[in-house]
Structure 1
Amino acid sequence: MSEKTQVSEKTEFEFQASVTEVLRLVIDSLYSNPEIFLRELVSNAADAIDKRKFRAISEPEILGEEEPKIRLIPDREAKTLTIEDDGIGMSREELIEYLGTVAHSGTREFAKAIEEAKKGDFQLIGQFGVGFYSSFLVAERVDVISRAAGSNEAHRFSSDGRSSFTVEPAERDRVGTSITLHLKEDCLEYLEEFRLRGLIRTHSDYLPHPIELKVRRPKSGGEEEGDAGEEVRFERINDGKALWQKDPKELEAEQYEEFYKHLTHDFEAPLAYRHFRVEGTMLFSGIFFIPKRPPFDLFTEGAAHGMRLYVKRVFIMDNCDALIPRFLRFLRGVVDSEDLPLNVSREILQDSRVVRTISKQITKRALDLLDELAAEKKEEYLEFWRAYGAVLKEGLHFSPEYANRIAKLVRFESSKGEGLVSLDEYIERMPEGQESIYYILGANRQLVENSPHLEGLKKKGYEVLFLTDPVDAFAIEGLSEYEGKKLISAMDADVDLSDGAEDEETPELGKLEAKIKSALAGKISAVRWSKRLTDSPACLVIPPSGLPPYLERLLRAREGEMSEPPRTLELNPKHPLIEAIREKVEAGEEGVERYLEAIYGQALLSEGSPVEQPAKLASLLVELLTEKLAGQAATPGGGDVRRESEG
């Protein structure tokens, strides 16, 4: 943003190129739904009043004697609609920051997100906090006059939404903001009383602050006389009772939907919601919602998430993260407590017994709601899972007190088809004789599906869960057992697939064990015959105290280390390659170490682990293949085919 001219304290600024782009994107995305401008502006006005009331807790002098209001003032002659509030107001600097730029809302991220989304993806606009710019859907020019609480100065912001805006001193007799829209010719319907009443009733009826509309009525000794025996007055056009204070039986789904849209600035209905009221030693009520789609910053470290907190209907703060655990941070909603002090701070909330009780109640109700979705609305639950499953799984690790509840809700890909399976479904279809739940960790389905560690499990008909989310490596550590069944990694050394007396005897390792330990010193901790391999020559397994290799890699990536920790090497005693190597060792032949290096490298690659020196392994494999093929191509007389052709 650059300052162009300055005349009589009126300053003109150029919009940043990115701001102009956001304006274009907002208008292009919402052109078919222009009426949302009123909801956005009224919601902003209500938030401004909430902020003024909150600040008045510590500074009572900034709140006047009259109840703060929101007023709609249509002017047919001037073709303007003014939205006025008695909120916190804005200083000159704040007008420039909040209206003249959108950098604080993530301009580039917004532009990128909405360009990548499908056309009409309205919810992105609310996520990025640029709802004010919906004014330009209906207005040729927008004038904003604002006076900040605690100041006697007012300023005017004016823009046509194209390339620049101006800021100059103005007059305003009280704290608050007025936004005057100079309506486009095809938007004059928003001057009609019935249209404005209908929009407020639809979108903002529940707001706790009075919304008044300037109307003309037949003269009856009113305050301000108009022409032809009429008087001009303000009439309240909203109910004004907080939605969460009402009896759920009196409310329709549409009312919850509109409240959600006001609260979140989302343009889609929520996936699900729950209205609650708790009475007893403590009294609190509220509503929480599950958005259909996650916010852009759901996994951004330090991003603000949480519920909106009220105390005795007084707004206290947004994004109160103390009210919900991290694994439910996708919830949006409000909580109104009768037991917290009005001057509560975030620091106090962290240690508050009241807040801990509220958090437990919300968590229980949220998990109950998810249980209901999973049981009764499977498609909607799968939609939820695709959006928030990775977040929910965090609770297995970080909130062990809820691990069993969360485990019932978790869904996995598995070796039995392309769909998702719950742990209960897994247990239901376990074959006779299977005692444990098996899983495997890896970067993607293709990798884990073809892992040699699954060969013996597949042969027995055991289903294996595929854990391919990055969070799975940590989450599964918090779930060692479910419904009396142990969860065992298919890569664990103690996976027992033996059938007792029916198992065939395997030969002694003998000299092979010593040769392998010598050739792979520092790379393996032990070597043994495998009961899980049926087709592959070898695999590496995790000792009882070890970590899965996928988790090891994640941890080592943070610390910049690359070496693989030693693990147990399992060999398939029936594989021709292993049999040949054992015979060579028993016969005392030289050069067997190269084959053992190749076997070790193959075991790493087959499970998706990186090799420490890939070029060295590639050269070794080429060398061994060349020797093998050269030997097969030798003539009966002992000559080399390549040499004969050269001659």
Structure 2
Amino acid sequence: MTAETEATTHAPTAVPFRAEVRQLLNILAHSLYTDREIFLRELISNASDALHRVQFEMLTNQQVRDPDAPLEIRIGVDKDAKTITISDTGIGMTREELIENLGTIAHSGTRTLIENLEAAQRSNIIGQFGVGFYSAFVVADEVTVISRSYRPDAEAALWRSQGGESFVVDAAEREQRGTTIVLKLKEEAHEFADEWRLRQIVRRHSNYVAFPIYIGDERANESTALWHQPPRNVEASQYNEFYRQMTFDYEEPLLWVHFSSEAPLDLHAILFVPAKRERGFIERRMEGKIRLYSRKVLIQEDAKDILPPYFRFVEGVVDSEDLPLNVSREGVQRDAGPNRDPIVQRIKKSLTNRLTKELVDLAEKDPIKYVTFWNEFSPFIKEGIATDPLARDDLLPLLRFHTTKSGDQLASLADYKGRMIDGQNEIYYVIAADLESARRSPHLDALNDRGIEALLLYDVMDSFLLNGLREYQGLKLRNVDDPNLSLPGEAPTPEVSISDEQFTRLVNVFKETLGERVTTVRASNVLRHNPLRLVSPEDQQYNREMARVQRILDRDFKVPPKIVELNRSHPLIVDLARLAESDGDAALVRNLVEQLYENALLLEGLHPNPADMVGRIQALMEAAARRLG
């Protein structure tokens, strides 16, 4: 392909090649490029850059070599020689540019670069040092570059290196403008001397490069990147097909968000909200993947930092030329406290704000579809409110609850606020083991009598949610198991059917039977239709919501001591007080006390082992049968 005449060898001390090249290439090959196939992505990216440059040059310059040459990248394989050839029709390089661009790795000093690499300070290096090309030495023993500049009078030139302490520059033969790179593969990299393998790599990393990539005579990449198209030009069927190809999920996505901007931030993205948490025909998973591109070249297969954790169910692609990349193009700069990269944060903020807005719009315009979203992904939204104070206000409109007035429908906090009664200045909620238990909660007696609505919380994540949701638009949230609950409005006064003496005796029976499980037993001021409720003492006010989570996680969970409030007018309490007067019914009374207490635990979602109740329930049934007999 070339004739090496008048070759120039640059010693380690020569200016064009700087010192420590062998050390640098060893670091690049063994430390930074953990995935060997990255070499092809890097070389294709460089070829694409060269094509972009000549395309731009031809806009204003008519004196360009081969102005009619197709803008393309061609890849060839010689299985016998174990070589790969990557060729483009881009801007090309002169002899001097080959020395400058390939022989001088760091304009500010190779020693600085190596010190940064050895210290693992790799972010933004690719913007400071042109080292992407050197990924070729990950797989190649020898790299040859033959190039001819776009300038009409420029001659072709050759650059060759074996990754040692010198390189060769020589005259070469090449008629067409552009650059050809020939890789002589290492023995352990012979797997890449295969067209099928290279085609696989192109489709994974470079499928949406703006220029055609040919392997042999077959085009290996897609013609267009959907996310770079104007949204108005994309059909719903195209979004669905793209989502299916990307995820192997054959159920259509619930929602897609497509936006594109050039300034002040270059950002092109399509984000998908799946129809279900668990999706994918081949790979079953509950978390999405955001594929990160720069100039349509895949940078990260799963960019976890580009959206907040509470949106990790989202699938999609994000493409930005503004992203600061590390030396291997394998990641964006991660969270580093005050040094966190502002561009990454602007991209993240833009994506998050747009996605949140689209979900809010969906909730307002298509409530039925939004219920589907909420039923699948509500734990993530609750997590966001619990863990990200800065996102709290933006996410609040997305919350939905079952309430005592919503029936089978879901209500927003705004819906609740609109139904508050006169004089109400708090939002009330009850926590239980499940929805039906919440609806049966004895804590709701006083609220129902006054026409006050309550949020019904029964999901495990609700306990975490409450850590970040203490108020809404100036309205404080209050658990109705509060021992000092004071409610607006009026309720009918019940008739008390037992004397103070009988009630005092019954209180003592409760205390003796339940022992350290209760802090006190007293008459209730709020119960109307239930015999008993459990109330959290003052010292449990800040962790009572998490008690249900602890019960799930801890096998040795013990119910914290509770206040027992009794409804003096309830028929069961009246009968129990009368039974307590007879010594002959002591065992029955104790069983009834235990059962009433554990019934309340069950409704609260705090019972450590409901199966323990079976024997007692059977004993109570036998006692009832004997009395009836």
* Equivalent residue, structure 1, for 2:381: 392
Q: 1:566 to 1:263 in 2, by over 3 A?
A: same
* Equivalent residue, structure 1, for 2:551: 556
Distance 2:42 2:299 in 1: 9
Distance 1:345 1:213 in 2: 24
* Equivalent residue, structure 2, for 1:574: 569
Q: Secondary structure at the match of 2:354?
A: helix
Distance 1:380 1:70 in 2: 47
Contact persistence 2:325–2:333 (CA under 8 A): no
* Equivalent residue, structure 2, for 1:144: none
Match of 1:348, as an amino acid? Q
| Larger RCO: 1 or 2 (CA < 8 Å, sep 6+) | 2
Distance 2:374 2:443 in 1: 28
Aligned with residue 607 of structure 2, among 610, 613, 617: 610
Q: Secondary structure at the match of 1:597?
A: helix
Q: Secondary structure at the match of 2:408?
A: coil
Q: Secondary structure at the match of 2:485?
A: coil
* Equivalent residue, structure 1, for 2:243: 260
* Equivalent residue, structure 2, for 1:350: 335
Match of 2:198, as an amino acid? G
- Deviation, structure 1 residue 294: 3.0
Q: Please give the residue correspondences for 1:210-289 in structure 2 after superposition, counting only pairs within 5 Å.
A: 210=212, 239-240=223-224, 242-278=225-261, 282-289=265-272
Match of 2:377, as an amino acid? Y
Q: Please give the residue correspondences for 1:314-329 in structure 2 after superposition, counting only pairs within 5 Å.
A: 314-329=297-312
Per-residue CA distance 1:415-471 (angstroms, 9 max, x = gap): 332122222222223343443333333332222222222233223333333323332
1:524 aligns with 2:509: no
Per-residue CA distance 1:278-305 (angstroms, 9 max, x = gap): 565643332222223334499x999864
Distance 1:238 1:177 in 2: 12
Q: For structure 1, which segment, 343-352 or 524-533, has the greater mean C-alpha deviation from structure 2 after superposition? A: 343-352
Contact persistence 2:427–2:454 (CA under 8 A): yes
- Deviation, structure 1 residue 310: 1.9
Q: Please give the residue correspondences for 1:113-128 in structure 2 after superposition, counting only pairs within 5 Å.
A: none
Match of 1:176, as an amino acid? L
Q: 1:625 to 1:373 in 2, by over 3 A?
A: closer
* Equivalent residue, structure 1, for 2:360: 371
Per-residue CA distance 1:544-565 (angstroms, 9 max, x = gap): 4347877424313323213211
Q: 1:622 to 1:264 in 2, by over 3 A?
A: closer
* Equivalent residue, structure 1, for 2:10: none
Which runs of 5 or more structure 2 residues have no equivalent in the other structure? 1-34, 52-70, 77-85, 88-134, 137-182
* Equivalent residue, structure 2, for 1:401: 390
Q: Please give the residue correspondences for 1:530-545 in structure 2 after superposition, counting only pairs within 5 Å.
A: 530-544=524-538, 545=540
Distance 2:44 2:223 in 1: 25
- Deviation, structure 1 residue 356: 2.0
* Equivalent residue, structure 1, for 2:403: 414
* Equivalent residue, structure 2, for 1:565: 560
Distance 1:271 1:428 in 2: 29
* Equivalent residue, structure 2, for 1:426: 416
* Equivalent residue, structure 2, for 1:599: 596
TM-score w.r.t. length of structure 1: 0.58
Q: For structure 1, which segment, 386-395 or 583-592, has the greater mean C-alpha deviation from structure 2 after superposition? A: 583-592
- Deviation, structure 1 residue 568: 1.2
Q: 1:316 to 1:332 in 2, by over 3 A?
A: same
Distance 1:268 1:302 in 2: 14
Q: 1:627 to 1:172 in 2, by over 3 A?
A: closer
Distance 2:507 2:386 in 1: 39
Q: 1:175 to 1:454 in 2, by over 3 A?
A: closer
Match of 1:324, as an amino acid? L
Q: 1:524 to 1:491 in 2, by over 3 A?
A: same
Q: 1:444 to 1:70 in 2, by over 3 A?
A: farther
Distance 1:629 1:237 in 2: 80
Q: 1:625 to 1:337 in 2, by over 3 A?
A: closer
Distance 1:170 1:342 in 2: 26
Match of 1:556, as an amino acid? R
Contact persistence 2:460–2:548 (CA under 8 A): no
Per-residue CA distance 1:103-155 (angstroms, 9 max, x = gap): xxxxxxxxxxxxxxxxxxxxxxxxxxxxxxxxxxxxxxxxxxxxx99456899
1:440 aligns with 2:425: no
Distance 2:478 2:524 in 1: 17
Distance 2:507 2:319 in 1: 69
- Deviation, structure 1 residue 498: 6.8
Distance 1:246 1:64 in 2: 23
Match of 1:402, as an amino acid? A
* Equivalent residue, structure 2, for 1:383: 372
Q: 1:358 to 1:588 in 2, by over 3 A?
A: same
- Deviation, structure 1 residue 177: 4.2
- Deviation, structure 1 residue 170: 11
1:362 aligns with 2:378: no
Contact persistence 2:535–2:562 (CA under 8 A): yes
Q: 1:446 to 1:297 in 2, by over 3 A?
A: farther
Per-residue CA distance 1:341-362 (angstroms, 9 max, x = gap): 3325548323333222211111
Aligned with residue 176 of structure 1, among 195, 198, 201: 198
Contact persistence 2:494–2:569 (CA under 8 A): no
Q: 1:266 to 1:631 in 2, by over 3 A?
A: closer
Contact persistence 1:412–1:466 (CA under 8 A): yes
Aligned with residue 481 of structure 2, among 485, 491, 494: 491
Q: Please give the residue correspondences for 1:137-152 in structure 2 after superposition, counting only pairs within 5 Å.
A: 150-151=185-186
- Deviation, structure 1 residue 69: 5.7
- Deviation, structure 1 residue 588: 9.7
Contact persistence 2:256–2:271 (CA under 8 A): yes
Q: Secondary structure at the match of 1:319?
A: coil
Matched pairs, number: 458
Q: For structure 1, which segment, 499-508 or 469-478, has the greater mean C-alpha deviation from structure 2 after superposition? A: 499-508
Distance 1:425 1:580 in 2: 42
Contact persistence 1:304–1:319 (CA under 8 A): no
Per-residue CA distance 1:563-612 (angstroms, 9 max, x = gap): 21111111101023323555677899993655533432343344454266
Contact persistence 2:209–2:297 (CA under 8 A): no
Q: 1:272 to 1:611 in 2, by over 3 A?
A: closer
Match of 1:243, as an amino acid? L
Q: 1:353 to 1:237 in 2, by over 3 A?
A: closer
Contact persistence 2:324–2:333 (CA under 8 A): no
- Deviation, structure 1 residue 632: 6.6
Q: 1:279 to 1:543 in 2, by over 3 A?
A: farther
Identity of paired residues, percent? 31
* Equivalent residue, structure 2, for 1:118: none
Which runs of 5 or more structure 1 residues have no equivalent in the other structure? 1-47, 72-84, 90-147, 156-168, 180-199, 215-232, 634-647
Distance 1:359 1:451 in 2: 42
Distance 2:240 2:456 in 1: 37
Contact persistence 1:440–1:491 (CA under 8 A): yes
Match of 1:406, as an amino acid? L
